[in-house]
Chain A
Amino acid sequence: MKSDSMTQSNMSEFLELTVDKFTFRVATDRYYHSEGVWAQAEGNRVRIGLSDFLQQRSGDVAFVEVKPEGTVLAFDDEVAVIETIKANISLALPVTGRVVEVNPAMEVAPEVINQDPYGEGWLAVIEASDWESDRARLLDSQAYFLVMKQEAEEEAKRL
């Protein structure tokens, strides 16, 4: 990747960053853990998944293991492990609460994470115990975009 060809543009639903041949999108309708897991509240339930940047950087997903329904976890606890062609990656939970739903696609077609990270590729739904407090610890899309941009630039320098 070359940082000198970096461009960025704002779209209606996504912030977009292009570095060399890679384009990373940040959905503007959710919050983000700094490590790249997104959180989208639906009442007191919070749907989570991987950001486009995290899924692209991680590579093609081979297997996903999400903590089973009923598991109670705290903010930053490991909620899932994804095995990609590059590495095994532990995902930190961006909210405190109980796992109430795991995307069944993770069992049979985990590649959906790569295909549609902000849609069909969601990981799980968490029943939040205190979403407002957790949300204050997360990044909005603009803030995450800057974190992602910095990481992408640093990675570009290494290549």
Chain B
Amino acid sequence: MSEGRRKVVIMPCSGIGKTYGTVSREAAYEVTEDLRPDDAQLVALSLLVLGDEEARAAVAGSPAVTIDGCKLACATKMVEESGGTVAQDFAVLNAYRRHRQLKPQGIAELNEAGQKLAHVLAEEIVAVVDSLSRDDGGENA
């Protein structure tokens, strides 16, 4: 995705003090800062809750990938309630079910397995981002 085109919104869980929330955020950081900085942008759930205009505009103008830390699925619900489009919702628990050897532990700092789980999740998200970028096809270039 080149400059001027819309970036896929990545919205992780905002749960504080929860291991799975931390995994969701680590995955989001990896996608938006390391793997696809030109194609994806992180939007904070808390800003959307507060009604921040920039956050709402980002969600309104681009497909979103949400990463939920628990079954409350706050990220997914908030994007939908804001009128955005959830292109794909990920749940950390489901990622763990697919990779049982990667049991995440820790909150402020994830254990090694948790970091690997975040990486695996980030790779799955990147596949979605790439697909959405291809679908976008330069129409907003």
Chain A contact residues, CB within 8 Å of chain B: 60, 62-63, 85, 111, 114
Contact = CB atoms under 8 A, between A and B. Distances in A.
A63 B18 CA distance: 19
Binding site of B, secondary structure by majority: helix, strand, loop or mixed?
helix
B97 A60 contact: no
Nearest to A110: B97
B71 A62 contact: no
A85 B100 contact: no
B100 A60 contact: no
Contacts of B96: 62
Given A60-B70, A60-B71, A114-B71, 14 more contacts: A60-B93, A62-B93, A62-B96, A62-B97, A62-B100, A63-B97, A63-B100, A85-B18, A85-B19, A85-B20, A85-B70, A85-B93, A111-B71, A111-B93
Contacts of A85: 18-20, 70, 93
Q: Which 3 A-B pairs have CB atoms at the shortest separation, nearest pair first? A: A60-B93, A60-B71, A85-B20
Interface range for B: under 10
A106 B100 CA distance: 15
10 contacts: A60-B70, A60-B71, A60-B93, A62-B93, A62-B100, A63-B97, A85-B18, A85-B19, A85-B20, A111-B93
Nearest to A84: B93
Contacts of B19: 85
A60 B72 CA distance: 10
A62 B20 CA distance: 12
Interface string B57-70: 00000000000001
Contacts of A63: 97, 100
Contacts of A60: 70-71, 93
A85 B105 CA distance: 10
A60 B69 CA distance: 10
Nearest to B92: A85
A153 to B, nearest CB: 23
Contacts of B18: 85
A137 B20 CA distance: 39
A22 B71 CA distance: 14
Interface string B79-119: 00000000000000100110010000000000000000000
A126 B65 CA distance: 44
Interface in B2-55: 18-20
A111 B93 CA distance: 10
Contacts of A114: 71
A85 to B, nearest CB: 6
Nearest to B100: A63
Contacts of B20: 85
Contacts of B93: 60, 62, 85, 111
